[in-house]
Amino acid sequence: MIIDGQAEFRSLLMHHVTTHWPDAIIAAYDPVEAGYLPDEFSGAGNDIVLLGSEVGDRDGLAVLKQFCKTPGFPAVVYFGHRKDEASALKVGASAFIERDQIRHDALTVKLSDILVSRRRVSTTGSLFVGDARTGIEPLIRGYRFIEKLGATAHSAIYLAERESTKGKVVLKVLQHVPDVSDSIGAFDRFLQEYELIAEIDHPNIVKIYDLGVGDDHAHIAMEYVDAGDLKRRISAGITELDAVRYLRQIASALAEIHAVGILHRDLKPGNIMLRSDDSIALIDFGLAKRMRLRMELTDEGEIFGTPYYMSPEQGHGNGIDHRSDIYSLGVIFYEMLTGQKPYRADTAMAIIYLHAQAPIPLLSARLAKYQVLINMMLAKDPDNRLQSAAEVEEWL
């Protein structure tokens, strides 16, 4: 249920929810036009209430407090101004989001986490356990949790220790929640991710140790890569020689996955890790798929990936092949050399437009010897690009 006095804000929240959960049933309520909800309103029949701070001449925090003190009231996410955050959480909001700073990924992750948590509370059995440092964590035999590293809408990433070897690993855990409409597809994609990577043994691709599947979750245990990601390294500044060395290693990893029929589809600096010996480890094949598989796990034309690194064809929902990954690699190489992304804009759609229409940016005179390679990787038409990742290595 969405409650707010601004029609545009209600529509915005509805768009975010239905984009992620197309089958969601949403009740929108305008407290200004329809009047205040009675004190006995229990929220019954709703999984989550999205409450905005614009509720007419009443105080939004007072309405939130009324909801949260009602026994059995569903989880409430409060959308207010930054100064309201501490008060909103104190009176019982399950989450607070600044209403003028809504990011789709962050919103859907929070909503998914709330749905998963509600399911854990209502389900008998001991799939999840409490931990003072990390909150509620999945109970997976053979591993001791150390800390939570991050989360997406469907999965969480943990640093853990293998009890058998005492070595550190990264656990990627997917919560399978049947009452969330997209979770079945996400679960299938998660299992496919393991199958794709497990076939590969390459020095620049993350090593996979274990797969486990339960009724409500699946997990992948993989190599712990402890020197941070390429995104952080770019922010600190990369030398020309290191940029070329990293490019060689990433291209080598891409050549390997392309050779067995795999596309990455979400190549970006955040998915490229560095080991302590400064070698590259390509990770996160959550968007990868075999070229030979039909589009049975996603709808035709659905856009996956990150706009800053998307090829023109991917950004417009057209068919893609391995040359789309080469385009993304070209964007990363440009960013490693210059510290800047080749195309920037205020919205995702504007960035997608620039990838398709804007000229390929020129490197400085000092880096001009790489311009031809950049041009061949960032060509708008896939037919005009380098035709394989192996050609990148050959060119270098």
CA neighbor of 339 nearest in space, from 216, 244, 231 = 231
Say how far apart CA 68 and CA 61 lie, in whole Å: 10
Say how far apart CA 29 and CA 43 lie, in whole Å: 12
Q: What is the pLDDT of residues 44-57, one digit of tens each?
A: 878 899 999 999 88
Fold exhibited by the domain 2-102+111-121: Rossmann fold (3.40.50)
For residue 138, the model assigns a pLDDT of 58
Which residues make up the CATH 3.30.200.20 domain(s) of the chain? Answer: 128-223
Catalytic residue among 4, 84, 216, 266: 266
Which residues make up the CATH 1.10.510.10 domain(s) of the chain? Answer: 230-395
CB neighbours of residue 190 within 10 Å: 23
- The Cα-based distances of 350 to 20, 127, 173 in angstroms read 21, 44, 34
For residue 231, the model assigns a pLDDT of 93
Residues 6+ apart with CB under 8 A from 391: none
Which residues make up the CATH 3.40.50.2300 domain(s) of the chain? Answer: 2-102+111-121
Q: What is the pLDDT of residues 337-396, one digit of tens each?
A: 999 999 988 877 888 899 999 999 999 999 999 999 999 999 999 999 999 999 998 999
Q: What is the pLDDT of residues 24-45, one digit of tens each?
A: 788 888 888 888 888 778 888 7
- Is 201 noted as a catalytic residue in this protein? no
Task: Tell me the mean pLDDT in the region 275-279.
Answer: 95
Fold exhibited by the domain 128-223: Phosphorylase Kinase; domain 1 (3.30.200)
For residue 23, the model assigns a pLDDT of 67
For residue 133, the model assigns a pLDDT of 35
Tokens 């984009």 belong to which residue? 19
Task: Tell me the mean pLDDT in the region 298-327.
Answer: 75
DSSP letter for 366, please. Answer: G
CB neighbours of residue 144 within 10 Å: 11
Q: Looking at per-residue confidence, does 182 or 80 come out higher? A: 80
For residue 42, the model assigns a pLDDT of 86
State in words which class domain 230-395 has: mainly alpha
CA neighbor of 225 nearest in space, from 151, 186, 172 = 172
| Cα angle for residues 264, 334, 309 (degrees, 5° grid) | 35
Residue 329 · residue 248 · CB < 8 Å: no
For residue 110, the model assigns a pLDDT of 86
Asked if pLDDT for residue 188 goes beyond 70, the answer is no
